[in-house]
Each structure stands twice: as structure tokens, then as C-alpha cells.
């Protein structure tokens, strides 16, 4: 396996990635763990700068609107990298089931996937990857993106998977796409031995009262509960919800027939299972099944980050700056899980080792092939 310079290809050095919509760095962290050399992350949210740069020495954060990003900038960041990977996990809110107002909310953000497609056309990276919510596959903008890749000669694979099958201690269904100019590519198969529970990752953390913080870790901080919600969480069973409570604790809206269809709020997690899907409001007891399995409080910010695969020492806020639940909840809840990023990186490295040495070294020569779409066995939903 050789590069254009005739030397042996070294995947851990020569597979170079630019991470668009990088957020707090979940995907980047996983890719680096897998041996991918990430050189730049791009995001418009200024709150992403500290966690991205503080945890990835030597990787530059660029605050850009991807809709206005020029291909020449990405080319400059790639330099003369033998194998170029362009990652683009566009904000998922327009496609999420948490908001059904598809026709009126977030339409401008849908176009970000089109801009990602534009940059793929203009840059011509060797490999493309994308992560998003499962429902993205239902929308024309996703079909257009896949069609763009195939027109450029990429082999395209995508599937909907549960991150819990890949070592994340959280049930989180995501669409993952991989595309390559070098031949068929797909995500590696899950391994049952990778499965983790809430207990596996949270059991050893210091005990907290609601509204308090750990003296050794500012991010291990829990939101204060009202007296009523404190009573409610004490009456909640692990794996249960508001249905466990005595009648006087049940909210008026849940006593009505329309409210009874919302069982997944005011719930406690279980130690012996993966966590439910984290949202950007995982720190709020009333926002989902985010009650601590045994303590009378909701998840701390650190616990949410750990359930997203971030290391326990991952820095999200500079020293001296206040902890803002809403900002950090957004960064953590919207992150690509680190475990998923690692699996994507491992799959890319495996693909490069298998295929790249047999392919032409010129991106322009590689264009024009008929891309083939490969989908896995999971139902696209």
C-alpha cells in the first residue's frame, strides 16, 4: 500500500480529517482515538471553542458558518494529506421527532446538508461521513445529498443503528453514512461484549444533593429541584415515571387523557440498563427519564457527558467561567457520541488499509465512477 510519493501508507498519520459542525468535539475525539488525524473543526457556536481546543491539542477550531465556507479554506487545512476525510454532522433539530413542525421550523438549517454536499463536490475528499437522527432519511434533502455523492463517484453506505450496540451506555438511534471514492465502505459490525450499562460508567462518581456541585469537578453539578419535584423523584422507581406517584403528586396535565400518552417524563434511569436517549435538557428531572437511578436528583452535567462517551476529565468550561446549564446541556446533548466517533474512525482506517493502496492517487481520476449505495439490514425510519 503506497502513497503518491511511493512510500508505505501510514493510516494513523496519512488519514486526515476536517470535522464540519464539530460541536464540543465528540466525533473528533472518537476519530482521534481510532487513529484518524483530525486537523480542524468548524462550528458557528462560539461556546464550542473551549471544549474543542482544550481537549484536542494541535487541532484548530475555526468559527465559521458552513453555509459561507469556501472549499479553498478546507483545501488549505488538508494541505497535501494523502487521504482526506470530510465529516459533516449537520445540526439535527430540523429532522428530529422532538419537533414535528417540519414545514415552519428550521427550514434554513436543512440547507446545511446541501452546503455539505456542495463542499464535497468542490473539495472531492476521499472519504465522507455523516451522522444524524434516524428521521433524516425520510427527507428529500437527504436523498439529494446521497444523489450528489453518487454523481461524484462515491460508493455510499448508510444505516440506522443503536449506539448502545457499539459501547455507548445510552440507547441512541442514529443514522450513520459513509462514502468513499476507493470502493465499498461500511461501518464495522457491533460486538456484544461492548455493551455498557449506566452502572458501568456512573457508579463510582461522588454522591450529590440536588442543587450542589462536587468540590473536585465543577461539571459534576446537579440542577436544584423544587420542593414538589423533590417529593416526586423520591416517589419514582428506577425505570419508572410519574405513573409511580401517589395521586397528589401527579401534574394536572397528566391526569387528563391527553397527558397519559407522555410516560417518558419525570422518570428515573436504571443502573442495570443503558440510559435513555439524552436530549439537550437531560439535566432537568421533568424533561425525560433523566432522574438519577438512586439519588434524589436529575443527572449532573458530568454524568450526561459521560453517558455521551466523553472522558471524565473532558473540559467544557474554562476555569473561572460560570457553569451554564442551558449552554452546556446543548453542547453535550447535541454531541456525536465519542464511542460512535471511534467506531466510525475504526471503520475508515480498516477501509483505507484494505482499499486505498489499490486505488488511483488522483482524486480527479477517481471521479466519474458509478457510486453504489449500500444499506444495512436495519429499517430506515
Could you give the residue numbers annotated as active site? 92
Q: What is the DSSP string of 324-374?
A: -HHHHHHHHHTSPPHHHHHHHHHHHHHHHHHHGGGS-S-HHHHTTS---EE
- In order of 101, 107, 115, 166, 194, the CA distances from 134 in angstroms are 17, 18, 20, 16, 22
Q: Is the dihedral of CA 148, 98, 281, 44 positive or negative?
A: positive
The C-alpha cell that represents 173 in the structure block? 438511534
Alpha-carbon distance of 324 to 311, in angstroms, equals 20
Q: Can you say how many angstroms the Cα of residue 357 is from the centroid of all Cα atoms in its chain? A: 30
In a 10 Å sphere around its CB, with 0-12 CB exposed, 13-18 middle and 19+ buried, how is residue 134 labelled? buried
Alpha-carbon distance of 245 to 259, in angstroms, equals 15
Residue 213 makes CB contacts below 8 A (sequence gap 6+) with 220, 221, 222, 323
Within the chain, where are the H helices?
11-14, 26-34, 49-54, 71-78, 107-123, 140-151, 198-202, 227-234, 252-255, 301-307, 325-333, 338-355, 363-366
DSSP 262: -
Q: Which residue has the cell 442514529?
A: 174
The C-alpha cell that represents 199 in the structure block? 452502572
Amino acid at each position: 500500500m503506497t502513497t503518491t510519493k511511493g512510500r508505505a501508507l501510514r493510516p494513523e498519520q496519512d488519514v486526515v480529517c476536517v470535522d464540519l459542525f464539530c460541536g464540543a468535539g465528540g466525533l473528533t475525539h472518537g476519530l482521534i482515538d481510532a487513529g484518524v488525524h483530525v486537523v480542524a473543526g468548524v462550528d458557528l457556536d462560539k461556546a464550542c471553542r473551549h471544549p474543542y481546543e482544550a481537549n484536542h491539542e494541535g487541532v484548530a477550531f475555526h468559527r465559521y458558518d458552513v453555509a459561507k465556507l469556501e472549499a479553498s479554506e478546507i483545501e488549505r487545512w488538508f494541505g497535501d494529506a494523502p487521504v482526506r476525510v470530510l465529516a459533516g454532522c449537520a445540526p439535527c433539530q430540523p429532522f428530529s421527532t422532538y419537533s414535528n413542525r417540519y414545514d415552519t421550523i428550521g427550514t434554513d438549517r436543512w440547507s446545511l446538508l446541501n452546503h455539505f454536499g456542495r463542499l464535497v463536490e468542490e473539495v472531492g475528499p476521499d472519504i465522507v461521513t455523516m451522522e444524524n437522527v434516524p428521521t433524516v432519511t425520510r427527507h428529500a434533502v437527504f436523498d439529494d445529498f446521497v444523489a450528489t455523492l453518487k454523481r461524484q463517484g462515491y460508493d455510499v453506505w448508510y444505516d440506522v443503528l443503536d449506539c448502545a450496540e457499539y459501547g455507548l451506555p445510552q440507547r441512541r438511534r442514529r443514522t450513520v453514512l459513509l462514502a468513499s471514492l476507493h470502493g465499498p465502505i461500511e461501518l464495522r459490525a457491533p460486538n456484544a461484549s461492548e455493551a455498557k450499562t449506566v452502572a458501568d460508567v456512573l457508579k463510582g462518581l461522588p454522591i450529590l444533593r440536588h442543587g450542589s456541585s462536587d468540590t473536585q469537578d465543577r461539571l459534576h453539578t446537579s440542577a436544584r429541584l423544587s420542593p414538589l419535584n423533590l417529593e416526586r423523584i423520591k416517589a419514582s422507581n428506577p425505570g419508572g415515571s410519574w405513573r409511580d406517584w401517589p395521586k397528589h403528586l401527579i401534574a394536572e396535565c397528566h391526569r387528563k387523557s391527553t397527558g397519559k400518552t407522555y410516560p417518558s417524563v419525570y422518570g428515573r434511569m436504571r443502573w442495570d440498563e443503558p440510559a435513555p436517549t439524552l436530549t439537550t435538557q437531560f439535566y432537568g428531572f421533568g424533561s425525560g427519564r433523566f432522574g438519577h437511578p438512586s439519588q434524589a436528583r436529575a443527572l449532573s452535567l458530568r454524568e450526561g457527558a459521560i453517558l455521551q462517551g466523553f472522558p471524565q476529565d473532558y473540559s467544557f468550561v474554562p476555569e473561572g467561567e460560570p457553569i451554564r446549564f442551558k449552554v452546556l446541556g446543548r453542547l453535550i446533548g447535541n454531541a456525536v457520541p465519542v464511542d460512535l466517533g471511534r467506531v466510525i474512525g475504526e471503520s475508515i482506517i480498516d477501509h483505507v488499509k484494505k482499499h486505498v493502496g489499490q486505488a488511483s492517487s488522483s482524486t480527479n481520476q477517481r471521479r466519474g465512477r458509478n457510486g453504489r449505495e449500500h444499506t444495512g439490514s436495519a429499517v430506515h425510519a
